[in-house]
Amino acid sequence: MSRTLKETLDWAGDGAAHLRGLMTRMGDEAFRKPSALPGWSRAHVLTHVARNADALINLLTWAKTGKETPMYASREQRDADIESGALRDAAVIREDVVATSDRLAVAVKAMPKDAWKAIVRDGRGTPMPVQDIGWLRAREMWIHSVDLDVGASFEDFPAPMLRELLSDVTRSLSERPETPAVRLIATDRDQVWSTGEAHGLVSVSGPTADLATWVSGRGRSRALKTDDGSKPPVMPAWL
Q: How confident is the model at residue 239 (pLDDT cuts 50, 70, 90)?
A: confident
- Give the predicted TM-score (pTM) of the model: 0.95
Fold of 159-226: Nonspecific Lipid-transfer Protein; Chain A (3.30.1050)
- Judged by average pLDDT, the poorest of 99-103, 108-112, 232-236 is 232-236
CATH superfamily of 5-152: dinb family like domain (1.20.120.450)
Residue 164 · residue 57 · CB < 8 Å? no
Residue 126 and residue 106: Cα distance in Å, rounded? 26
pLDDT, averaged across the chain: 95
- Number of other CB atoms surrounding residue 95 within 10 Å: 13
- Tell me how far apart the alpha carbons of residues 149 and 42 are, in angstroms, rounded to a whole number: 8
Mean pLDDT of 209-224: 95
The domain limits of the chain are 5-152, 159-226
- The answer to whether the CB of 93 falls within 8 A of the CB of 46 is yes
